[in-house]
Chain A
Amino acid sequence: MANSRRKMYFRMVTSSLIRRASRLIIAVLAIAIGATILSGLVTIYYDIPEQLGREFRSYGANLIVLPKGDAKITREILAELENIIGREKIVGIAPYRYQTVKINEQPYIIAGTDLPEAEKNSPFWYIEGTWANSDEPDHVMIGHEIAETLNLKLGDSFVVQGVKYGERAEASRQDYSAKENLQRDKASQNFNKKLFVKGIITTGGAEEGFIFADSNMLDELVGDIFRADVVECSVIADAQELENLSRVIEAKLSNLLPRAVRRLTQSQDIVLGKLQALVLLVTLIVLIITMISVYTTMMAMVAERRREIALKKALGAENNLIMGELLGEGVLLGFLGGAAGVFLGFEFAQRVSLNVFGRAIHFQVALIPITIAVFILITVLASILPVRKVMDIHPAIVLKGE
């Protein structure tokens, strides 16, 4: 019984839209454009932190982990640290061992590290030549400052000397003969190695005063097992997440001292906040514009269908029945426009993301029902005033003969 009324309701509402297709297309288009921009922006909004996080990783490590006191970081601790942070969040994780060596009797520091990881942490380094690697451990990178002082060019060699791990350094003594000194160097507590310049590093920072080499080579040189003085991590996380991460690390590995690089995380958060505020603002404006456009469309539709509305009244339809039909059409328009918009919006977001960040975006499935619901809601809201015009239509005046 009531079912046949409901069927007739849908028959009227859908016929009105389907058989007035040109109207339908324009109205749906207006809503779909709004929904496209909206769902696109929301997708970007949710993807910005991650995209920007990756982007900010090009400014270097944002988490520095130091051992407490005189302790060193072993391979086991390093592996645990990696586990705690989570491999998928790590852009790069580079342990450093600092070793003082002498070149031409002048002290310098070799930083032994996992070179590929260090490279991931330091995309902004300018390298003349190429990054050193563990395949040719004798070929190392030197800071620009060292290259200047020692007048070293790519491919040049130099000799580093030093005292092995656990031995006391002893300066060559004036009162020993050169031969004696040489003998002492050859003795087991000293090391002496010829290295080649593979790359010259320019960063504008402290790195320019260091030599960067493969950590295994350095360990071997100093005759020690792996022991890092510091671990530099580049983690995809914002300030808050880094804070939390640091706390977890400290709790689980009590002999470590994690430090977020404030300068980086804070500027990341500021940029992020501003971008998200901008996206929200644009979204709000798009919603308002969509509502205005739905409002005018519905206004025009009610005006255009005055006769039909008057006729329905003449047939005995109550105002609220007719308003219900028009709102039903609005809901359907909102649904169609919203649904079209979700998919177009993802496409739109994908393009923006590829162009701006150079990365693909994640499709938020939850966005489908949410966008559709939002657009049904705003079409209904925007339709309320136009639909209320139904009450002002007098059948006798509109349907008058002649």
Chain B
Amino acid sequence: MSKQILELKNVSKIYGSLKALADINLKVNAGDWLSIMGPSGSGKTTMINIIGCMDTPSTGSVILDGVDISRENASSLTRIRRDKIGLIFQQFHLISYLTAVENVMVAQYYHSMPDEAEAMEALEKVGLKDRARHLPAQLSGGEQQRVCIARALINSPEILLGDEPTGNLDEENEGIVVDIFRRLHDEGVTIIIVTHDPEVGDVAQRKIILEHGRVIQDIDQTSTFGQALKIHHE
């Protein structure tokens, strides 16, 4: 039984009269691979931002690696995010004037020490060793997202978080990125990915579906029941 890395307890996020998240309860174990799916506006981004220490819940608590982060101030959240979270985004967000390897080194720089050799190794793992000296504009979308994955993993975070990481990729590149997730999962990395693409959502070990800020389904895709449910849904 692996340890619990994340727990959301009665988490709500309220914008005025709108409940972006309503009373969410969720436990994630180390090494889990979780997909968050659901229609637009269902609260996926809000949830991943709260998990990623980029936002705080209105009520409820979030236990990340044994620490309640729901009441931390901005500066501690920055520190926790730096140490425990690796983020990837739909629009990649690479720094345009830095090369691929420099973009990876930026994450090292803010975390601890830049180490070019280590950054190169991370790029090699995502198959980009020969593109390390290219600027983002000289890379394809798929290559850019792979740089982002290398950057997200360079400081060995507890959790890899992605908000629609394949949303801007074609099918081929989506496949490459999913393969990388699969390999990372095999290596024991905890992965939480928001997606509206079933092909991406279904490869995860577990999938939750949000609607109007609530978890309406929580599917264990490794169990026969989960598989059966999946087949039933199709």
CA distance A232 to B114 in the complex (A): 76
Q: Tell whether A153 is near chain B: CB-to-CB under 8 Å.
A: no
Q: Tell whether A308 is near chain B: CB-to-CB under 8 Å.
A: yes
Whether A5 lies near B111 (C-beta < 8 A) is: no
Given contacts A400-B45, A401-B91, is CB(A8)–CB(B55) below 8 Å?
no
CA distance A396 to B50 in the complex (A): 9
Whether A313 lies near B78 (C-beta < 8 A) is: yes
Whether A7 lies near B114 (C-beta < 8 A) is: yes
CB < 8 Å neighbour of A12 from B96, B106, B163? B106
Besides A315-B106, A399-B54, A402-B164, 4 more A-B contacts (Cβ < 8 Å) are: A11-B105, A15-B97, A313-B78, A396-B55
CA distance A19 to B89 in the complex (A): 24
Q: Tell whether A395 is near chain B: CB-to-CB under 8 Å.
A: yes
Whether B109 lies near A318 (C-beta < 8 A) is: no
Q: Tell whether A312 is near chain B: CB-to-CB under 8 Å.
A: yes
Q: Tell whether A166 is near chain B: CB-to-CB under 8 Å.
A: no
Q: Tell whether A317 is near chain B: CB-to-CB under 8 Å.
A: yes
Residues of chain B within 8 A of A18, CB atoms compared: 97
Residues of chain B within 8 A of A4, CB atoms compared: 113-115
Q: Tell whether A16 is near chain B: CB-to-CB under 8 Å.
A: yes
Residues of chain A within 8 A of B164, CB atoms compared: 401-402
Shortest CB distance A326–B (Å):
13
Whether B113 lies near A1 (C-beta < 8 A) is: yes
Closest A residue, CB atoms, query B49 = A396
CA distance A316 to B105 in the complex (A): 13
CB < 8 Å neighbour of B54 from A7, A318, A395? A395
CB < 8 Å neighbour of A15 from B89, B102, B163? B102
Given contacts A314-B87, A321-B110, is CB(A308)–CB(B78) below 8 Å?
no
Shortest CB distance A328–B (Å):
13
Can you list 6 A-B contacts with CB-CB less than 8 angstroms, sorted by A residue number? A11-B102, A12-B98, A314-B87, A315-B82, A316-B79, A399-B54
Whether B113 lies near A5 (C-beta < 8 A) is: yes
Whether B93 lies near A316 (C-beta < 8 A) is: no
Residues of chain B within 8 A of A402, CB atoms compared: 40, 90, 164
CB < 8 Å neighbour of B97 from A9, A16, A313? A16
Shortest CB distance B40–A (Å):
8
**B-binding residues in A (CB < 8 A):** 1, 4-5, 7-9, 11-12, 15-16, 18-20, 307-308, 310-318, 321, 394-396, 399-402
Whether B75 lies near A311 (C-beta < 8 A) is: no
Residues of chain B within 8 A of A16, CB atoms compared: 97
Residues of chain A within 8 A of B98, CB atoms compared: 12, 15, 19
CA distance A401 to B167 in the complex (A): 9
Q: Tell whether B83 is near chain A: CB-to-CB under 8 Å.
A: yes
Whether A19 lies near B90 (C-beta < 8 A) is: no
Closest A residue, CB atoms, query B83 = A316
Whether B135 lies near A19 (C-beta < 8 A) is: yes
Closest B residue, CB atoms, query A394 = B54
Residues of chain A within 8 A of B54, CB atoms compared: 314, 394-396, 399
Question: Digit string of B38-54 for contact with A (CB within 8 Å is 1, else 0)?
Answer: 00100001000100101
Whether A5 lies near B97 (C-beta < 8 A) is: no
Closest A residue, CB atoms, query B163 = A401
Q: Tell whether B81 is near chain A: CB-to-CB under 8 Å.
A: yes
Whether A8 lies near B93 (C-beta < 8 A) is: no
CB < 8 Å neighbour of A308 from B95, B102, B113, B115? B95
Question: Digit string of B43-74 for contact with A (CB within 8 Å is 1, else 0)?
Answer: 00100010010110000000000000000000
Shortest CB distance A378–B (Å):
25
Question: Digit string of B96-108 for contact with A (CB within 8 Å is 1, else 0)?
Answer: 1110001001111
CA distance A318 to B74 in the complex (A): 10
Shortest CB distance B155–A (Å):
8
Whether B109 lies near A8 (C-beta < 8 A) is: yes
Given contacts A16-B97, A401-B164, is CB(A316)–CB(B110) below 8 Å?
yes
CA distance A315 to B54 in the complex (A): 10
Whether A317 lies near B110 (C-beta < 8 A) is: yes
Shortest CB distance A318–B (Å):
6
CA distance A15 to B101 in the complex (A): 13
CA distance A18 to B20 in the complex (A): 43
CA distance A276 to B54 in the complex (A): 57
Shortest CB distance A316–B (Å):
2
CB < 8 Å neighbour of A316 from B81, B102, B135, B194? B81
Residues of chain A within 8 A of B102, CB atoms compared: 11-12, 15
Residues of chain B within 8 A of A395, CB atoms compared: 54
- Residue with the greatest number of chain A CB neighbours at <10 A, chosen from B110, B114, B163: B110
Shortest CB distance B124–A (Å):
20
Whether A316 lies near B82 (C-beta < 8 A) is: yes
Whether B95 lies near A311 (C-beta < 8 A) is: yes
Whether B45 lies near A401 (C-beta < 8 A) is: yes
Given contacts A315-B82, A401-B45, A401-B163, is CB(A20)–CB(B97) below 8 Å?
yes
Shortest CB distance A107–B (Å):
91
